[in-house]
């Protein structure tokens, strides 16, 4: 029997001017989610059940960018995506383009367990959801007043609003804001929007699991798919570790960031903290992102090269931490 560990995130990249009240609200939500996960782990739920449970909670609360509170497309609608992966047999499920599924992460799990496929999207995913009897709601349920206002700002600026600001490199630590312009695939973008969510868990049996969920970018093109539902990019779990990423989706996709953590642990024989530090510093090129990770040995780590990352983690020995910067 090993030791359990859990980490959650609410997105990499935090506006340095974010009001203290919003910071504290985020910390309270992350703490609540950690408490839910800890209780489940103490009840001996397997890691895959715990990551789904925690991400469902994050999707239901409108504070972060997943489920209710998701970022809006250029058309003012919500298109959500999520993925989940179970490390022991590398089983996985992913969904994109959801508009009426209340909890995308649970549909991703159903794709993993109740379909012959690993990834369903748009109308096919919605039809599968109906057949599985998952809870469906009107698209308006996911739209918040804050995000309507943010979309208006994005349209006025003729830009995409992103979920981080330019940083100095940090690993579980603070960075300093910089004023240089951000680009995505060579095109300038503006800088602040709601944040992606994710959870990684290792249970007492050493089984790792990971799940990630998001509404994507504010003012994104309809049909855009980011890293969150892509296994190996935004989410990955193996017999060695579980990883969930957040930040510039295009950069995370190019670097297959989540899989890279597992790969350098396997091939370079790095421990979890070394692996996370290595991929953040060497695999993102000019991209900006962060990640959370756990190992089969009960380690937990996070890394980011943005100004901050909403995150929390806990281990069986009583350690618990929630941070922003």
Rounded distance between C-alpha atoms, residue 240 and residue 253, angstroms: 21
**Ramachandran region, residue 263 (left: φ > 0; alpha: ψ -120 to 50; beta: rest):** alpha
Contact 127, 121 (CB under 8 A): no
**Cβ density class 194-208: b for 16+ within 10 Å, e for less:** bbbbbbbbbbbebbb
Per-residue HEC secondary structure of the chain comes to CCCCEEEEEEEECCCCCCCHHHHHHHHHHHHHHHHHHHHHHHCCCCHHHHHHHHHHHHHHCCCCCCCCCCCCECCCCCCEEEEEEECCCCEEEEEEEECCECCHHHHHHHHHHHCCCCEEEHHHHHHHHHHHCCCECCHHHHCCHHHHHHHHHHHHHCCCECCCCCCCCECCCCCCCCCCCEEECCEEEECCCCCCEEEEEECCCCCEEEEEEECCCECECCCCCCCCCCECCCEEECCCEEEEEEECHHHHHHHCHHHHHHHHHHHCCCCHHHHHHHHHHHCCCCCCEEEEEEECCCCEEEEECCCCEEEEEEECCCCEEEECC
Phi, psi of 92 (to 5 degrees): -150, 160
Active-site residue, selected from the candidate residues 196, 235, 306, 315: 196
Is residue 171 annotated as a catalytic residue, yes or no?
no
Catalytic residues: 196
């Amino acid at each position: 029997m090993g030791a359990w560990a859990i980490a959650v995130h609410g997105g990499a990249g935090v506006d340095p001017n974010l009001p203290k009240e919003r910071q504290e609200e985020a910390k309270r939500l992350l703490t609540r989610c950690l408490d839910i996960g800890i209780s489940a782990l103490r009840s001996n739920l397997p890691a895959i059940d715990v990551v789904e449970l925690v991400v469902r909670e994050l999707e239901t609360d409108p504070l972060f960018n997943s489920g209710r509170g998701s970022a809006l497309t250029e058309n003012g609608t919500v298109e959500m995506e999520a993925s989940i992966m179970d490390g022991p047999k590398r089983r996985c499920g992913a969904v994109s383009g959801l508009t009426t599924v209340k909890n995308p992460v649970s549909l991703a799990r159903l794709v993993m367990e109740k379909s012959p496929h690993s990834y369903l999207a748009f109308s096919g995913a919605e039809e599968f959801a109906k057949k599985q009897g998952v809870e469906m709601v009107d698209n308006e349920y996911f739209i918040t007043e804050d995000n309507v206002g943010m979309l208006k700002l994005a349209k006025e600026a003729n830009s995409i609003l992103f979920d981080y600001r330019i940083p100095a490199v940090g690993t579980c630590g603070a960075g300093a804001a910089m004023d240089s312009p951000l680009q995505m695939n060579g095109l300038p973008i503006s800088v602040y929007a709601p944040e992606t969510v994710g959870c990684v868990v290792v249970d007492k049996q050493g089984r790792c699991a990971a799940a990630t969920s998001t509404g994507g970018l504010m003012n994104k093109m309809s049909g855009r798919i980011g890293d969150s539902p892509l296994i190996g990019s935004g989410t990955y779990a193996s017999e060695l570790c579980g990883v969930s990423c957040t930040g510039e989706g295009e950069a995370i996709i190019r670097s297959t960031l989540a899989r890279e953590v597992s790969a350098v642990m396997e091939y370079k024989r790095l421990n979890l903290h070394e692996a996370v530090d290595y991929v953040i510093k060497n695999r993102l090129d000019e991209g900006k992102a962060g990640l959370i990770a756990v190992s089969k040995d009960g380690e937990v780590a996070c890394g980011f090269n943005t100004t901050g990352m909403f995150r929390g983690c806990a281990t069986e020995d009583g350690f618990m931490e929630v941070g922003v910067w």
